[in-house]
Structure 1
């Protein structure tokens, strides 16, 4: 493409796929308000690069609205994040249709509970629940437990299906801390915690497979418990060997490193 084009997700959720096909693997999901640059376009699909975490993949051309570069920059840098609510209704003013937005979704700055996204006007029927941001860093336990029992879903980022790094990314987004998308990428961020006994609430623990690749991440609740997405979002004991699964009655994930972000 000669000139960059930009878009924003105007649905509650939109799948991002590895290839331009409905049958292709879902890599991640966009939430309402997620912005991206369009890198390539076919008749039905666009290849995108997300603004929040520089993640590339294909989305259906009907699942976003085009925006200009100035709005892309504005939405990317000054958006608000919705907080822990199962869903929050949002009215599309032109048609009266209702969208149900999920925790971690992004919205532009509001005026009287209303905002514009691209050329479309939206209104919340009541004041929405916003994420606490960095003023709520002591609420990470509550934000993480909001997702308890959410089913594991590869690429998921919502209460209705979430994977391990999607879980940590969305929780930290509500705290105003930007994490990359995949566990191995998140492991390259943060400050190293030397020993498990030094771990604090909100630290991230990372786990590797037999080949030494980091494949799992969870949020420490203290130096003996972790909340993570494995089958479902749940709380398990952790020791120097790793996570002890209360479901399987054995260690399920081998501890590699612990990082601190807050």
Structure 2
């Protein structure tokens, strides 16, 4: 088993190569193809991602390679905890979207790192090429000059990113739960994307995963696991801002299918579903009142194993 790193701003993690549709083909190409793909999909095609797309990797994120087949790589994502595989979230990625250099690999062990804390940022590479990278992209810091931080890219070359868009640390510090609410509010109006893990589009669990990550707390990738590993909250009266709230089929008694984050006054923020962007709702609203099945609290000390 070897390790490689995402070398495009957002790499899709597919259920299987055979699940890719014709409309998805641009996303398999160069970095600009990802944006073309997003722009091509109407509402029905976005809904059609269910059962096809599993998750996403951000630029520089590691993947453990399990198998290679005809331009594709089967991987696990060690930074995305799941019950599906103890090694990380499983799926398939185009081989061209992953790379490896010894220098970048060494830098991953040393730090410090820049974390993109802006909604999005622009990474300038050699010859002026620019990549638009997502919130919570992490790259090794090399230097700082003229209002820019010099970073090492997965391709082993240096790039520049504005100081105002990042924070430098080995790991984001654990903040007060109310800080999670402030972070989440920045994404109000962002379009939903099934399996989305970037600020180009989140699904419900990907949204809270990145918000918690930005505030120093590691939580699992999917809603069911997020419920399982947090400190349980049984009623809405016990909820505090920054807690997770969960919703299940069969009037709250079945399988968990949705997650949001409490913000106070019986309200929560969430990325609802295809066609509905990140927004606020009241827990008394339907169907949320009927489907509420509990909450979970994370303080950053929970073991994910």
TM-score category by the smaller chain?
0.7 to 0.9
**Paired position in structure 2 for 1:170:** 210
CA shift in 2, pair 1:63/1:114, >3 Å? same
CA deviations on 1:105-136 (whole Å, 9 max, x unpaired) are 11123421112234222221444333964246
**Paired position in structure 1 for 2:120:** 87
What is the TM-score when the length of structure 2 is the normalising length? 0.74
CA deviations on 1:193-251 (whole Å, 9 max, x unpaired) are 23211110000011111271111000000150011111211100114xxxx15xxxx55
The partner residue of 1:40 within 54, 57, 67 is: 67
Question: Is 2:221 the partner of 1:181?
Answer: yes
Question: Is 2:270 the partner of 1:228?
Answer: yes
CA contact (8 A) 1:6 1:67 kept: no
CA deviations on 1:35-54 (whole Å, 9 max, x unpaired) are 11111101210011112011
What is the TM-score when the length of structure 1 is the normalising length? 0.85
CA deviations on 1:4-63 (whole Å, 9 max, x unpaired) are 211111211111100024338111111112111111101210011112011011011111
Question: Is 2:144 the partner of 1:108?
Answer: no
Pairing 1:32-71 to 2, within 5 Å after superposition: 32-53=59-80, 54-67=88-101, 71=105
More strand per residue: 1
Deviates more, 1:125-134 or 1:49-58: 125-134
Question: Is 2:219 the partner of 1:219?
Answer: no
SS at match of 1:215: strand
More helix per residue: 2
- Paired with 2:106 and 2:295, the residues of 1 have a C-alpha distance of 34
CA contact (8 A) 2:120 2:134 kept: yes
Q: Which structure 2 residue ranges, 5 or more long, are not aligned?
A: 22-50, 81-87, 300-305
- Paired with 2:124 and 2:289, the residues of 1 have a C-alpha distance of 44
The partner residue of 1:140 within 162, 180, 200 is: 180
